[in-house]
Structure 1
Amino acid sequence: MIDPLPILQSTFGFPGFRGVQEQVVSRVLAAENTLAVMPTGAGKSLCYQLPAVALDGTCVVVSPLIALMHDQLRAATAIGIRAATLTSVDTDQMETIARFRRGELDLLYVAPERASNESFRNLLGQSPLALFAIDEAHCVSEWGHDFRPDYRLLRTMLDAFPHVPRLALTATADAHTRADILEQLGIPHDGMIVAGFDRPNIQYRISPKDNITRQIADIVAEQPGPGIVYAQTRKGVEQLAERLASTGRKVRPYHAGLDPAVRARNQADFVASEDMVIVATVAFGMGIDKPDVRFVAHAGLPKSIEGYYQETGRAGRDGDPSIAHLFWGAEDFAKARQRIGEVEPHRQPGERARLTALGALVETPTCRRQILLRHFGDPAPDTCGNCDNCLNPPGAIDATEVARKFLSAVFRTGQSFGVGYIESILTGQSSERSLMNGHEALGVFGIASSSEEAALIKPVSRALLLRDALRTNDFGGLEFGPEARGILKGETTVSLLVQPKRERRRRGAAAENPAGDPLFEALRAKRRELAQAAQVPPYVIFHDSVLREMATLKPTSRAALAHITGIGARKLETYGDAFLEVLRG
C-alpha cells in the first residue's frame, strides 16, 4: 500500500489530511469505488490529485464546465502535477492525445459529452488508467438541482474499464440524490463517505427585499475582496451591474447573452482580481475555482436549497470569514409556483417540496444553519453563532388579524387586484378606481386604517404569498391559495419576524488586513507581481492564509519556508526566493 503522506507534504505542502480526505484517498489507493460528499472548500480535488500522482497511469477527470477544468489545470500545474485538458476550445488536442498515449499525464480533464463518446473510450484503451474521477457528480441525478443528461451516459465508459476505480465527488446532494448517484455510477452503498455540509466560516444572512440596489450596494461597500452578486435575469444583471459600478468598485456583468469574448474577459478579470464584484446569473461560479470570494449576494430567490447551498458555497473556499446574503420577495415565491405548474406532472411534487424548504429557510426565526444542515440530513446544533438570527435574534409579531383582514379584502374585491390596491382599500384611501368599482361601500374599506395595522400590510402580503395562502394570476392580481382557508377559519396563525436594524459599515484597509500588518501587504504585493508575470490569478501562487502564516512566522530560509502550510516542493522552488527577499526586508 502506498503511503500518501510524503506526497501530501512534498507536492501539496500539507503536513496532514483534513476531514475525510484520508478516508477517501485510502479507498482510492485500494482501488475501491467511492462516492465522496464533501462541502465546498473541504479539498475534494486533492482526493483525486494525490492518487493521480501516486498511481501509475492517468486519472481521467470528468468535469462539467470548460472554465472549471482550466482553473483546475492551472492549479495542478502550479504544484508540479502533469495535467492537461481535452476540450473543444483547446488548440493543442493532438499534443495532449500524444502525451496521454506516451503515459506522460497524471491528470486528463474532459467534459461528460466527450467522456460518453465511443471514440474517446477507444483512446482510453491505448494507455494505462489509474482512476476515473467524476466531479460535480450530482449532475448525474434527475433529482439533483443541476441535472446533465450526458452524465447518465458515463456508466458505459466506467464499465468498459472494470478494473479502474471510480471516485464520484459532490458538495450538494441530499439523501435521494446520493442514492441515485450510487445507482447511476455503479458504486456500492458502503462506498459512500459523507463529510457533512457545514461551512462554519460563512455567515448566512437573509432579508426581505426593500430597495434591492441600495441593499446590495451596502454589502459591496462594507465587504472588501471579491464578491458575486446573483440576479435572476440577464436584464437584471445588466441593470444591477451598472448601478453598483457607481459605488466606485470594479464591477462586471456575466450572462449567456453577452458576446462570448466579453463574457470570457469579464470572468478572467474577476478570477484574477483581489477586489472585483461580478453580477451574474446562477450559471456563473460553477466554472471557477476561485478560493478568495469574500461575499455572495442573491438579489432574488434561488431555485432550491441545494442551489442556494452550492451558490453560497462559492464564498470562502479558502476558509477565511465570508458573507452570504439572500434577499427575497413575495413575488419570487409567486413566480416559482407558476414555474412549477409548467413542468412535467411527475416532477411537480419534488419542485413543490423544494420551494417549501426554501420558504422555511427564509421565514425561520431560528438558526439558518440548522435548517440547511438538517435539510441535508446532517446533525445540527440549536444555534451556530454565525448567522443573522443567531447573532441578532429577531422578534415576532402576531399578525393573524391583519392577515385575515387582507384575505377578506382580496375575496370581497373579486380576487383580481394587486397588493397596492388591496392596501389602499384596507387603509381607506379613496380613488377614482375604488369609487368606480364600488369598493368603498365594502365592509373591508378602511378596516386597517390605524398606523400599526397599516405598517403590517405589506409584510403580511409577503407572508401570505410565501405560505401559498395567496397566489398571483397572469395579470398580477391576487387570488386565494390552498393555505388561505385555515387562516380565515382561525385554524392557522400568522407571525411576522421583526429583524433588528443592522448598522451600516464602511469598508477600509483594516477589514482586509485586520492586524494592519505592513509585511502582509508587502507579501500580497509580491504575489500580485508574480501572478501578473506568470499570467495566473494571485491565489494560484499562494492563498492569503499562506501569506498570513509567512507574516506571522517570518521564515528567513528555504528550509524554514518549507514548513509553511501550503508550500510544496514545486512552489518552494518557483517562488521561495522572491518571498524570502520580502521577508528578509
Structure 2
Amino acid sequence: MESSSTVTSDQLLATMHKYWGYEGFRPLQQEAMQSVLNDRDSVVVMPTGGGKSLCYQVPALCKPGLAVVASPLISLMKDQVDALAACGIHAACINSTISVAERREIATDIRSGDTKILYLAPERLLTDRTLDFLADANVSFFAIDESHCISEWGHDFRPEYRMMRMLKDRFPGVGVHAYTATATERVRQDIAQQLGLVNPELLVGSFDRPNLMYRVVRRKDRFAQIQKVIARHPNESGIVYCIRRADVESIAEQLNSIGVKALPYHAGLSDEQRQDHQDAFIKERVDVVVATVAFGMGIDKSNVRYVVHAGMPKSLESYQQESGRAGRDSLEAECVLLYSSGDMVTWKKMLGDLPDSAQKSAFHSLEALDHFCIGTECRHRMLVSYFGQELEDEECEACDVCLGTVDLVEDAMVLGQKILSCVIRTGERFGADHNAKVLCGSRDKRVLEFGHDELSTYGLLQDQSIRAVRTWIEQLVGQRFLAKTGEYNILKLTESGRELLRGEVIPKLTKAEADKSDSPKRKGKADDWEGVDRGLFESLRTLRRDKAAEAGIPAYIVFGDSSLREMARHRPSTLDSFRLMKGVGDKKCQDYGETFTQHIVAYCRQEGLEVDAMETEVVATPRREPPKNQSPALKDAFSLFAKGKTVDEVAAIIGRANTTVQGYLEQFIREQKLEDPTAWVTGETARRVESALEECGQRALKPIFEHLGEEVSYEEIRIVVACLQNRESA
C-alpha cells in the first residue's frame, strides 16, 4: 500500500467499490477520510446511517499499519468485525469474550501486519499492557466511536472515555479521530478539548434524516397504538422504547399474545439474557424488541423499519439517537412518539437525584423535547434547529405536521389573538402558567392578588383546560409570536405577534387531545419500491436469513435491504451483473453470487419474469431538492388555484389540511396581486365584507365577523381583505 499522503479520491473510491460495492461518497465522507490520510485530528458528526464507519475503515486499508478503534460495546465490536470479514477485510476485536489462545493469535496477526483494524473497549485500550503492545504495532491512527460519551454535556457520558486523552501523549504524531451521530456545538467542542486534539478538523453533516417519517401522537390506548404501527410493517424489524422496565415486560407479553414475535430488553435482565435477546433480534428470529434506553447503542442493524416511543425519551439528543436506529439503510422508516404530559413528571422524578448543575441541564433538555412534542412546526426542522442547523425547505413531506395529519383548530387566528391579548393585559410581566390561569378563569391566589380576575381576558378560555392553553402558548412561542425572556421566562410579544393581533398572519394551533388515527402518507414513499418485485424481495430475504444462519452472522451483514431491493428490481442472472448491484463487493460476489443468481433465475422462470432487467431505472431514496422559494405542495396549490379550484378541492387533491390550503390561497392572492375574490366567494359575500370593512376598518377581523352576524366565515373575510389590499396598493 502506498504512502497515505499520495492516496487519491479515485483510489479511495476504488477501495470502497472493491470491498463494499459502493460507487460514490456520501456527504462529508471524502473529507473525513482525507483527514485520516493526512494525519490531522478530527471530530466527525454524521447522522446514524450516514456512513461514519467507512470514514475510518476505508483509509485504514489505504494507510500502512494498524488502525485502532475504541468502541463501547462488545456486541458492536463483533458485528463490525463480522461485517468486515464478510467484505474480505482482516479485522479483530479483543474483549472479555475472547480466549487467551484467541488473543495470542490476534497478537501474532497484528505483528505480521495481516490485521488492518483492531477494535477495543476504552477500558482495555488504556491499560498499560495494551498501550505497550500497541507502541510496537505501527498504529496508523485511533478512531473513537460513539465519542459523545466523552462529554458530560452529552446524553450518555462515560467517565472512562475521558482517559483517552493520554493517547496524544503516548502516540505523538498519530492522528486521533472522534465519531458520533449526535452532538451539539457545546458537545463537539468538549470532545475536542477532552481528547486533547491538535487543530482538529470539525466536520458536521446534516442532522436531518429525510428518509424518516416523524409522527407525534397523544397517548390514549397505548397498546392499540403500538399494535397499529406494527401492523403497518408485517414481518419487519422494529423497536418499541419504554421508560419503565415493567412496561417493557407487559408490552412484550401482550405482543406475543397476539402473535407478534417480541422480546424484552432492560437492565433488570441478566447479561446473558440481554445478549440472547439482542442476538435474536439481530439475526431476525424475532421481529420486535421492547426495550428501555439500555438497548440500542450496540445495534448496527440496518433494516429497522420503525421505532415507537411508548413514552417520551429524556432529551432530543436521546430521541435523535434512538429514532435514528430506524432506516440506517437510507430506505423509508417510521418513527412514532406516543406523547403524554405525565411522562415529564416521571422523568423529573427519575432525574431528581442528579447534582444541581446536571439537573438544570437535564430539565432544560426535557423542556426542549416537550416543545418538540406539542409543536406545530415541521418535525425535521425542529430537530435540526436544536442542533444548530437550518432546514431550508418549507415542507419536509416526511412528518405529520407537513403532511397535514395534525388536527388544527379551525380559527387559530382568533384563539391566538385571545392569548396575546391576555399577555398584553397582564403587562407582559408574567410567564405561561400565570397567563394560562387567567385565560381559564382560575381562582389561584396570585391571579386574585394582582387583580387579574378583573381583566377583560379573564376566563376567556374557561371551557379549555390549563394544559391545553399552556400547549397553545408554547406553540405561539415556537412560531415566534411570543418570546420567553429573562430568568423567569416572562412572555413578551414579538413583531410577528403584533402582526397576528392585526390579523395579518395565521398561527398553527392543535386541537386539545387531538389525534388523527390515519398514518401520514409521505409523497414519494413508493419510490424506494419502484420496479421492485415484492415477491422476489421476500424470497431473497428468506434466502439471506438462511445464509446468515449458516454463517452465524446477522442477516443484514450478508446483504442489506437496499441491496435486496436492487436485486429484486434488476433481477441479475450472471455474476457480472450481480457484481453491479449496490453493496456487492468482490468477496460477497464470490461467496454469495452463484447462490443468489440461481435463486433469482428460478424465481423468474416460475413467475414468468425476464431476468437482467438492467435498463430499469434505479430510483434512490427520495432526497429533498435544493431549497426553492416554493414547496412542491405550494406549487401544486398555486397551479390549481389558477384553474379556479376551491380550497376543499385543492386540499383533497394535494393531501393537505384545509387550514394549510387556506393559507396557500391567501399567499396565492397576494403574490398574484389578485383583486377579484369572486372565484372563491360569492359576489354578494364580497360586497357585504367590503361594506363591513368600511365601517369597522381592517385592524382586526373579529369586529367584521361580528358585524356580519357571524354569517360569513373568517376564511372568506380574509380572502376579500387580501384582494382589497391588492386593489389599494395597485
TM, length-normalised to structure 2: 0.67
Give the secondary structure class of the aligned counterpart of 2:307. Answer: strand
> 2:117 aligned with 1:107, yes or no?
yes
Q: Give the corresponding residue for 1:297.
A: 308
CA distance in 2, matches of 1:176, 1:497: 36
Q: Give the corresponding residue for 1:40.
A: 48
Q: In the alignment, is the contact (CA less than 8 A) between 2:185 and 2:388 conserved in 1?
A: yes
Q: Deviations over 1:102-121 (max 9, x none)?
A: 32211111111112222211
> 2:289 aligned with 1:278, yes or no?
yes
CA distance in 2, matches of 1:170, 1:25: 15
> 2:557 aligned with 1:540, yes or no?
yes
Q: In the alignment, is the contact (CA less than 8 A) between 2:472 and 2:510 conserved in 1?
A: no
Equivalent residue for 1:394, pick from 362, 383, 407: 407
Q: What displacement does 1:340 show?
A: 5.0
Q: In the alignment, is the contact (CA less than 8 A) between 2:406 and 2:510 conserved in 1?
A: no
Q: What displacement does 1:243 show?
A: 1.6
Q: In the alignment, is the contact (CA less than 8 A) between 2:575 and 2:589 conserved in 1?
A: yes
One-letter code aligned to 1:170: T
Give the secondary structure class of the aligned counterpart of 2:465. Answer: helix
Q: What displacement does 1:465 show?
A: 12
One-letter code aligned to 1:193: L
Q: What displacement does 1:339 show?
A: 4.7
Q: Deviations over 1:282-305 (max 9, x none)?
A: 010101100000111111111111
Give the secondary structure class of the aligned counterpart of 1:123. Answer: helix
Equivalent residue for 1:94, pick from 86, 104, 107: 104
CA distance in 1, matches of 2:349, 2:145: 33
Q: Give the corresponding residue for 1:52.
A: 60
Q: In the alignment, is the contact (CA less than 8 A) between 2:376 and 2:508 conserved in 1?
A: no
Higher relative contact order (CA 8 A, sep 6+): 1
Q: Give the corresponding residue for 1:501.
A: 516
CA distance in 2, matches of 1:574, 1:214: 44
CA distance in 1, matches of 2:326, 2:161: 26
Q: What displacement does 1:199 show?
A: 0.5
- Distance verdict in 2 for CA 1:485–1:365, change over 3 Å: closer
Q: Give the corresponding residue for 1:84.
A: 92
Output aligned runs, 1:116-515, within 5 Å: 116-188=126-198, 191-224=201-234, 225-273=236-284, 276-339=287-350, 341-380=352-391, 381-391=393-403, 392-396=405-409, 398=415, 403-404=437-438, 408=442, 456-457=464-465, 460=468, 463=471, 496-497=510-511, 499=514, 501-503=516-518, 515=532
CA distance in 2, matches of 1:180, 1:205: 32
Q: What displacement does 1:405 show?
A: 7.0
- Distance verdict in 2 for CA 1:193–1:537, change over 3 Å: same
- Distance verdict in 2 for CA 1:196–1:155, change over 3 Å: same
CA distance in 1, matches of 2:60, 2:519: 48
One-letter code aligned to 1:581: Q
Structure 1: gaps of 5 or more residues? 413-446, 468-481, 487-492
Q: Give the corresponding residue for 2:625.
A: none
Q: In the alignment, is the contact (CA less than 8 A) between 1:143 and 1:176 conserved in 2?
A: yes
Structure 2: gaps of 5 or more residues? 1-5, 420-434, 447-457, 476-487, 493-506, 521-525, 603-730
Output aligned runs, 1:562-577, within 5 Å: 562-577=579-594
Q: What displacement does 1:27 show?
A: 1.6
Q: Deviations over 1:525-564 (max 9, x none)?
A: 2212211211212111111211221222222221222111
Q: In the alignment, is the contact (CA less than 8 A) between 1:155 and 1:185 conserved in 2?
A: yes
Q: What displacement does 1:29 show?
A: 1.2
Q: In the alignment, is the contact (CA less than 8 A) between 2:407 and 2:510 conserved in 1?
A: no
Q: What displacement does 1:198 show?
A: 0.9
Q: Give the corresponding residue for 1:17.
A: 25
Q: What displacement does 1:513 show?
A: 7.1
Q: Give the corresponding residue for 1:443.
A: none
Q: In the alignment, is the contact (CA less than 8 A) between 1:403 and 1:494 conserved in 2?
A: no
Q: Deviations over 1:336-359 (max 9, x none)?
A: 344555321222332232122112
RMSD: 3.3
Q: Deviations over 1:247-275 (max 9, x none)?
A: 31101000111132222111111001176
Give the secondary structure class of the aligned counterpart of 1:545. Answer: helix
Q: What displacement does 1:66 show?
A: 1.1
TM, length-normalised to structure 1: 0.83
Identity of aligned residues (%): 38
Q: Give the corresponding residue for 1:437.
A: none
Q: In the alignment, is the contact (CA less than 8 A) between 2:566 and 2:581 conserved in 1?
A: yes
Q: What displacement does 1:31 show?
A: 1.6
Q: Give the corresponding residue for 1:476.
A: none
Q: What displacement does 1:234 show?
A: 1.2
Q: In the alignment, is the contact (CA less than 8 A) between 2:60 and 2:117 conserved in 1?
A: yes
CA distance in 1, matches of 2:308, 2:536: 31
Give the secondary structure class of the aligned counterpart of 2:290. Answer: strand
- Distance verdict in 2 for CA 1:58–1:352, change over 3 Å: same
CA distance in 1, matches of 2:295, 2:473: 29
Give the secondary structure class of the aligned counterpart of 2:263. Answer: strand
Q: In the alignment, is the contact (CA less than 8 A) between 1:129 and 1:164 conserved in 2?
A: yes
Give the secondary structure class of the aligned counterpart of 2:337. Answer: strand
> 2:535 aligned with 1:523, yes or no?
no
Q: What displacement does 1:228 show?
A: 0.5
